[in-house]
Structure 1
């Protein structure tokens, strides 16, 4: 485990594409206050085709209000979710010298990293490791069956299910934004070499004895996501996720999102905010350290990031932002957040 965190990264240089997201993020490093009475809406996706109009309305209201919501009856079996968590725990339990054989490749969302993500909001590495799966970029990055039996098969099957749920939700937003219903489905084509949606397995380290009770350090610093839509799977009893909606950002008022085994926590990302010309907000979130009376052990989560294919152009109908390919957009965002893979 690396005991030498990277120095803070300098603020990002101005972007010719107007990436104001980075400017916002660099101002969100304070502790703020916790507000527990804000509603994080829960939306039932059952009988989707028949109930589509009502579900679309619920999703739109939740997304335009807080930017975060939870969905249930989403179609992924609990046994499949538990299998994906088991695969993640097995990977992170491998010796570091083995995980180092599958390093995060520069400029991509593929491979293993440890304490290398440096948020512009706090300038210090998140206290976690992650393994990221982007289908076309995984050559040489899969552990073999001798290290983890069935790992690749389990992970790819789960990633495919996540994409299916994400596209269903995004089809509702396409309806409301005036796009063709399959607009986002086509923009996230998994059969293309330019496919860039990512499944990220996350392991937040157990809190060291000397840091327990500290509320001024973060497992993950305040940030917005790069993508169109994030699906986050959490485990009950392993909380810490907090959200700060737009109008509360200046006051830094944070609301906890309690993990629930039956639901997926979703949030709008910067890519969709840009595409929707700010109608759908991408709001700040972070993972705080547990309080002195809370569980201090390791925290695991699974995140699927629906990120448009590399060659897709992101441009809203009113051209409020300069057009940019999804590939260039992601490269700029990744370079501002990763100091580079670290091992040892």
Structure 2
């Protein structure tokens, strides 16, 4: 199967161009499952500010970062090389901080301005997500605010999270199994993921091939997505694939270190739209039985991680 390029879609003049943008989003979601957003409303300076906030946390000593411990029941908090990836049989070579509005945050003393800046960033991500999801809702035959209600991050049962990620630099032994996989091949369980990257910190690769949200099929061709500060790389998650009766594709992706030479540190920021636990999930064609978002997460975690806790259901 040939490589599939990631379409670049502008959100400029969104309200007046909504029909055109919706067609572009649907075409990308049906064929690639990934697209890159520009003119989305978050400036490059704002993105760089959030990366600086992220790095200020990851630069802290481990004992200080550990004051915001990872909770397997909520999947919030700091984790270090703790995610065992079934697709590779090894632990992803990264550390991350998972956050929700109601979760424990790093203290102001340890990281001044962290919560204020990150909360503003989450609000901007929510606005962009609402726009994209409103297009998908209309195209699928739902009311335009259907996913906005289903995914309202201010509701207590919403599972949406911000994840700050740091992949430590690799050495010349990157080909060793334990060092190659910064993040092994996987799909995202949730609805829609917004990913922010930084210039020169490459490694993301995508792969088409899935026809069912519950299958593990993929092709052998992975396409590199160069890292660039500014554009947002967006991908469909398993939940939205199921919600669209498999029309919109949630495809595999991975992050790899360089096969030759050293790879520098890579920082990324992911905003996972994961919807409200109690909201009923079923596509317009009713291809699959109805279930709540919480039930879907529990089933997906059991299927994909063999009992590992990933997100509370």
Please report the TM-score for the alignment, with normalisation by the length of structure 2.
0.90
In the other structure, the counterpart of 2:214 is: none
- Deviation, 1:143, is 1.6
- Give distance in 1, aligned partners of 2:113 and 2:237: 31
- 1:288 partnered with 2:256: yes
RCO higher in structure (CA 8 A, sep ≥6):
1
Q: What secondary structure sits across from 1:246 in the alignment?
A: coil
In the other structure, the counterpart of 2:20 is: 54
Moved more, 312-321 or 244-253: 244-253
In the other structure, the counterpart of 1:8 is: none
Report the aligned-residue RMSD: 2.1
CA contact (8 A) 2:196 2:230 kept: no
Residue deviations 1:262-318 (CA, integer Å, cap 9, x gap): 31000000000000000001000000111325x612110000011111111111133
Residue deviations 1:188-233 (CA, integer Å, cap 9, x gap): 1122111211110000111134x23558831100000011110000
Residue deviations 1:158-217 (CA, integer Å, cap 9, x gap): 0111111011001101110000000000001122111211110000111134x2355883
Which among 89, 92, 95 is matched to residue 58 of structure 2?
A: 92
- Give distance in 2, aligned partners of 1:233 and 1:132: 15
- 1:316 partnered with 2:298: no
Q: What secondary structure sits across from 2:135 in the alignment?
A: helix
- Give distance in 1, aligned partners of 2:235 and 2:138: 18
- Give distance in 1, aligned partners of 2:287 and 2:138: 20
- Deviation, 1:322, is 2.6
In the other structure, the counterpart of 2:79 is: 113
CA contact (8 A) 2:122 2:162 kept: yes
- Deviation, 1:91, is 0.8
- Deviation, 1:147, is 0.5
Which among 174, 183, 187 is matched to residue 212 of structure 1?
A: 174
In the other structure, the counterpart of 1:181 is: 144
In the other structure, the counterpart of 1:12 is: none
CA change 1:318–1:256 in 2 (3 A) is same
CA contact (8 A) 2:210 2:249 kept: no
Moved more, 240-249 or 195-204: 240-249
- Deviation, 1:339, is 5.0
- Deviation, 1:47, is 0.5
In the other structure, the counterpart of 1:26 is: none
- 1:126 partnered with 2:88: no
- Give distance in 2, aligned partners of 1:340 and 1:190: 21
How is 1:134-145 mapped onto 2 (pairs within 5 angstroms)? 134-136=100-102, 138=103, 141-145=104-108
Which among 54, 63, 71 is matched to residue 29 of structure 2?
A: 63
In the other structure, the counterpart of 1:270 is: 238
- Deviation, 1:142, is 1.4
- Give distance in 2, aligned partners of 1:275 and 1:175: 13
Structure 2 unpaired stretches of 5+:
212-216
CA contact (8 A) 2:87 2:184 kept: yes
Moved more, 250-259 or 50-59: 250-259
CA contact (8 A) 2:47 2:230 kept: no
Runs of 4+ in 1 over 6 A off after TM superposition: none
- Give distance in 2, aligned partners of 1:57 and 1:64: 11
In the other structure, the counterpart of 1:224 is: 187
Which among 269, 273, 276 is matched to residue 302 of structure 1?
A: 269
- Deviation, 1:340, is 6.6
Residue deviations 1:108-135 (CA, integer Å, cap 9, x gap): 2311111111222112110001101122
CA contact (8 A) 2:43 2:230 kept: no
- Give distance in 2, aligned partners of 1:119 and 1:177: 33
